[in-house]
Amino acid sequence: MVQNSFRTSTGLSLTAVTADQMRNVDRVAVEDVGLQLLQMMENAGRILAWHVHEIRENKVVIIAGNGGNGGGGLACARHLANRDVPTRVILDRPSDDLSGAAAHQCQILDEMDVSITSGVESLDTVDERRTIVDALIGYGITGEVQPPAAEYIDRMNDLSGPTVSLDIPSGIDATTGESLGKAVSPDRTVTLALPKTGLDGPTGKLYLADISIPRTVYERLDIEYEPPFGDVDWVRLER
């Protein structure tokens, strides 16, 4: 796949990264530069909430897993709830089984009395026209999607309301773009920091969000980078 396979609407060429390269970006940003995961997660959740608010037709259901992707979805839920958007969260595991930043975000939502449930059966009560936020699986997945995530993906794809995926549609290989057995088919994907090589496929409209990773991170990893954002927090990408 061509490394610079994405362009902004103004024609700026952007470097696309593999999953391994993105892991290195996250590692250098946190371990070497000192950026905190919660800082990046906050930016991701805020920008995702803007896109959900724009596309939504009614109430919002956020499907969230553990880790950074799930935490970004939970931060999104907070921003939506703060704006009086009817929002509920369905986790892929009991909330007590969350860890790290995702557990932190979930605790905040619990204090806000945002509805939080878990289990695939919770999706049985979701109105088909509700807007779905896919924050289930991030770019780190390897191998085929396993239960219960596979069942969540099937249920999400059965719903007829608009779907917005965070960073990478759940079940899509971030490097190759291949479906890992089951994959979400979103109307819009809001990817973070840099486009992933695997997004050069059927992922709906594609947007890139600024999560505040400084240029020095990319320079240290020899990743060609030209800041695309200017005075905005996100840009539309063309394949």
**Nearest alpha carbon to residue 194 among 33, 12, 37:** 12
**Order of strands across the sheet that contains 87-91:** 13-14, 6-8, 234-238, 205-209, 188-192, 163-166, 131-135, 60-64, 87-91, 115-118
Position 3 pLDDT exceeds 60: no
12-36: pLDDT as tens digits: 999 999 999 999 999 999 999 999 9
Residues ≥6 apart with Cβ < 8 Å to 199: 6, 16, 168, 172, 174, 177, 189, 191, 206
Give the length of the chain.
239
Residue keyed to tokens 């919770």: 122
What are the chain's domains?
Answer: 6-238 (3.40.50.10260)
**Nearest alpha carbon to residue 146 among 174, 117, 124, 171:** 171
Report the distance separating Cα 118 and Cα 74, nearest Å.
Answer: 13
Lowest pLDDT segment from 5-9, 11-15, 64-68: 5-9
DSSP sequence for 75-89: HHHHHHHHTT--EEE
Q: What is the pTM of this model?
A: 0.95
Segment holding 64, helix H or strand E: strand 60-64
Position 183 pLDDT exceeds 60: yes
Q: Are 207 and 228 in contact (CB under 8 A)?
A: no
Report the 10 Å Cβ neighbour count for 178.
12
Q: What pLDDT score does 65 carry?
A: 96
The per-residue pLDDT of the chain, averaged, comes to 93
